[in-house]
Amino acid sequence: PLVLGVESSCDETGFGLVSEGVLLGQGLASSASQHADFGGVVPEIAARAHLDAAVPTLHLALEDAGVELGDITHVAVTSGPGLATAVHVGLAAAKAVAWSLDKPLYGVHHLAGHAAADTLEHGPLPERSIVLIVSGGHTSILAVGDLVRDPIEHLGDTLDDAAGEAFDKVARLLGLGYPGGPAISRAAVGGDPTAFRFPRAMLRSGDAPFVFSFSGLKTAVARTVERIERAGESVPVADIAASFEQAVVDVLVTKALRAVRERNLSTLVIVGGVAANARLRAVAQERCDAAGIELRIPPPALCTDNGAMIGAVGDLLVRFGADPSGLRIAADPSAVLHGAQLPLPG
Ligand code: ATP
Ligand code: MG
Ligand code: FE
């Protein structure tokens, strides 16, 4: 198969071409800069940008892979979760390609795409693993088997803000702009991660070992900044950014490793936009090495949204023999992750 993956659930327009687990090429456009003034993604602006970017970005992907439109054998597309207006544009583009080529179309869960991104770099997932998804809208610890065959088990999610959302909100209150993750990361360089002891919510919580909460952390950073400003001192942005990062990373890695141990597994996979974070990657590597756990994290460019990861799921579905979703599939903006395909078959 030669699978075209299409992604448009947030502010990235992505097309990727995947065959037999191999990424052949991709095209990516982002409207992030158009949202910067608003401190977050504006759905209507994102949708409009997807519309402008769709055809040129598809052509970039074809060129990058060195294939023709007519070589595509299957189309896979994010049909949820995401911003409804944004998802609709990618869905329309994918339907147009599938219909015009008379090829099967598969709806894909965006978060299964994030997990599948890792297979493009490190090969098939092991029989069972713990997957930590840390992105702009989600923070979940999952027990995962075969991505397309086995149901996905949620061990825990966030009660309030997602990890990426915390980065975005803290960046905003530090005046660092959007997207917040990369901005905080840059600001934290040279900062002292032990300068401020920000709260690690629910770190030792016995009855919710895999549940997260990040809104208190965001408030703690806000209070700290207010206190320093009231005292008429200058805000030590690097120290605050580094200490904030350290608090997030500490909770994420501690809970993820706890899940690996509790389930007697040996592999941890970390995916989603926040997995691009250098401190998270370094701390996770250090603690996994110490615990004898294999750590898999996709390269940073495959952590944030892209079309290749959706193509990777499509390629798995095709090789598994899944039934196509058909041209009538609808967007499902708040889809919960139970399986890779949307809607779930059967
Ligand atoms: P979801 O996947 O939950 O639907 P999304 O698609 O908007 O949400 P992603 O593209 O996976 O999210 O990730 C974007 C998030 O990742 C943003 O919150 C961004 O701030 C964060 N992020 C990106 N790069 C980094 C980084 N280097 N460090 C920390 N966070 C980062
Ligand atoms: Mg984005
Ligand atoms: Fe995402």
**Tokens read off for 123:** 């090969």
DSSP letters, 59-125, are: HHHHHHHT--GGG--EEEEEEESS-HHHHHHHHHHHHHHHHHHT--EEEEEHHHHHHHHHHHHH-SP
**For residue 280, which ligand has an atom nearest its CA?**
1
How many other CB atoms sit within 10 Å of the CB of residue 2?
19
- At residue 205, does pLDDT exceed 80? no
- At residue 346, does pLDDT exceed 80? no
**What is the pLDDT averaged over residues 311-318?**
98
Residue 59 in marked binding region: no
Asked if 38 contacts 178 with a C-beta cutoff of 8 angstroms, the reply is yes
Ligand 1 pocket residue status of 164, Cβ below 6 Å: yes
Helix (H, G, I), strand (E, B) or coil at 17: strand
**For residue 273, which ligand has an atom nearest its CA?**
1
Ligand 1 pocket residue status of 179, Cβ below 6 Å: yes
Query: What percentage of the chain exceeds 70 in pLDDT?
Result: 100
Q: Can you give the pTM of this predicted structure?
A: 0.98
Helix (H, G, I), strand (E, B) or coil at 129: strand
Ligand 1 pocket residue status of 304, Cβ below 6 Å: yes
Name which residue sits closest to atom 5 of ligand 1, judged by CA: 136
- From 174, 305, 306, 336, give the residue whose CB has the most ligand 1 atoms within 8 Å, as the site to mutate: 305
Q: Which helix (H) or strand (E) holds 29?
A: strand 22-30
How confident is the model at residue 255, as a pLDDT?
98
Q: How far is the CA of 121 from the centre of ligand 3 (A)?
A: 18
Residue 133 in marked binding region: yes
Comparing C-alpha atoms, which of 47, 46, 48, 51 is closest to residue 36?
Answer: 46
Confidence band (pLDDT; 50, 70, 90) for 35?
A: very high
